Amino acid sequence: MKSDIPVTSLQRLPIYLNYLKSLPAEVVNISSRAVAHALAMGEVLVRKDLAYTPAQGRTRTGYVRVELIAAIEEYLGCNDVKNAAVFGAGELGSALLAYNGFKNYGINVAAAFDSNPAKIGKTVSGKPVYGVAEAKQRLCELGVRLAVICVPAAAAQGIADLLVDCGIKGILNFAPVLLTVSEGFNVRNIDLAANLAVISSMI
Amino acid sequence: MKSDIPVTSLQRLPIYLNYLKSLPAEVVNISSRAVAHALAMGEVLVRKDLAYTPAQGRTRTGYVRVELIAAIEEYLGCNDVKNAAVFGAGELGSALLAYNGFKNYGINVAAAFDSNPAKIGKTVSGKPVYGVAEAKQRLCELGVRLAVICVPAAAAQGIADLLVDCGIKGILNFAPVLLTVSEGFNVRNIDLAANLAVISSMI
């Protein structure tokens, strides 16, 4: 559905959204030039990115801010709630289960999965923790479409294979390994240590 | 020091590093073509990226794998230990304090800072939690050069200002806000919810 937009443009939409939402209520209209200036980005780039959304800019005044926010939210699917599951209820997994920011994007973290018998059957931040062995059945019951992998590196590929087998199409991977998935599956990798390392080597 | 390398190339070095380390010991030599193929990247891109490091490739055989790993680690400063601090000892901050992956890149998370009196003076995963009010003195004593911001969005800019004032040059920001810092400071933003939202809108 979003195959026409480059991933780099798609990645910038939440940045525009956060910025537009952060402005005081007095800001009724905003131009792509003003957005570009505030975020230190190129004006042409911002205009092109916003053109992928259903927002309609006007000559001179630019966009009506609340309309632009609504258009980006609509484009990102924030109003169409999707269920997600977290694999690995360790420290990072628990942090994500406690995190409230996902709902701003229409994502409901419905459950966690873990292989540790001491965690299975418990709840973390009110979310049930199921065994990995019952993943297929539970993911189906819960209508989960997205998964977040927070298991140790050595276990990550096994979980990715399981997710693909369960029909999960989108994976956010925090394990510091390169996951191999078939075409048609979307994986984003966030290596927390590597991100800090990049800054570290710049200073 | 690393001003000659594009940030996009710098960001890919940890990906090559993880891949090279994941290979079995039998793999003695590896070409940039083989790396490119395994990671589904362009061969020219990989070759250019690796050329920023001190690694020396050979015609036909390519790189000696352990030499290439050492060269990337040297370039990323993995052998030069830098102290880091986590601001905000909530769920995400605690997850980062418990995380072991930073040391692979020569980063030692030395302490946490929080404004909650109930947390100050305690330890999280063996790391001391200090009050934000004593940040300047403690950061100096500990020789901290990098900071990770895990405080709520509304408090993040205040913490960034404090860090700049304390002479911290590199910030990894998990708060979903755009931080304004003076030139010469390096900020990387990781909006966890936005990352999942990008996948969500692709499926």
CA A137 to CA A160: how far, in whole Å? 16
Measured over the CA atoms of residue B2, residue B8, residue B10 and residue B11, the dihedral's sign is positive
SS3 letters across A93-107: HHHHHHCCHHHHHCE
B116 vs B179 pLDDT, higher one: B116
Residue indicated by tokens 């980062």: B96
User: pLDDT at residue B190 above 60?
Assistant: yes
What number is the average pLDDT over the span B190-194? 86
B24 close to B66: Cβ distance less than 8 angstroms: no
User: pLDDT at residue A184 above 50?
Assistant: yes
Question: Among residues of chain B, what percentage have pLDDT more than 70?
Answer: 99
Q: Which two tokens stand for residue B170?
A: 């590199």
Render pLDDT for A73-83 as a digit per residue (tens, 0 to 9). Answer: 999 888 888 99
Angle between helices A7-22 and A65-76 (to 10 degrees): 140
- Assembly ipTM: 0.79
- The amino acid occupying position B154 is A
Q: Determine the Cα angle at A93 with ends B81 and B101, to 5°.
A: 15
B36 close to B46: Cβ distance less than 8 angstroms: yes
Residues of chain A contacting residue B95, judged by C-beta atoms under 8 Å apart: 91-92, 94-95
pLDDT given at position B170: 92
Residues of chain B contacting residue A195, judged by C-beta atoms under 8 Å apart: 172, 188, 190
Q: Which two tokens stand for residue B115?
A: 């404004």
CA A81 to CA B78: how far, in whole Å? 42
Grade residue B140 by pLDDT with cuts at 50, 70 and 90. very high
User: pLDDT at residue B120 above 70?
Assistant: yes
User: pLDDT at residue A1 above 50?
Assistant: no
User: How far is C-alpha B15 from the geometric centre of its chain's CA atoms?
Assistant: 12
| Residue among B51, B55, B53, B50 nearest B35 (CA) | B50
pLDDT given at position B3: 58
Q: Do A172 and B178 touch (CB under 8 A)?
A: no
Start-to-end CA span in chain B (Å): 41
CA A48 to CA A125: how far, in whole Å? 40
pLDDT given at position A2: 59
Measured over the CA atoms of residue B165, residue B170, residue B174 and residue B179, the dihedral's sign is positive
In the DSSP assignment, the letter for residue B58 is: B
3-state SS class at B202: helix
A199 close to B172: Cβ distance less than 8 angstroms: yes
Residues of chain A contacting residue B6, judged by C-beta atoms under 8 Å apart: none
Q: Do A76 and B200 touch (CB under 8 A)?
A: yes
B87 vs B186 pLDDT, higher one: B87
What number is the average pLDDT over the span B184-201? 86
Grade residue A109 by pLDDT with cuts at 50, 70 and 90. very high
Question: Among residues of chain A, what percentage have pLDDT more than 90?
Answer: 60
User: pLDDT at residue B1 above 60?
Assistant: no
Tell me which residue in B1, B11, B18 faces A176 most closely, judged by beta carbons: B18
**Segment of A7-11, B168-172, B192-196 carrying the highest mean pLDDT:** B168-172
Task: Record the pTM.
Answer: 0.79
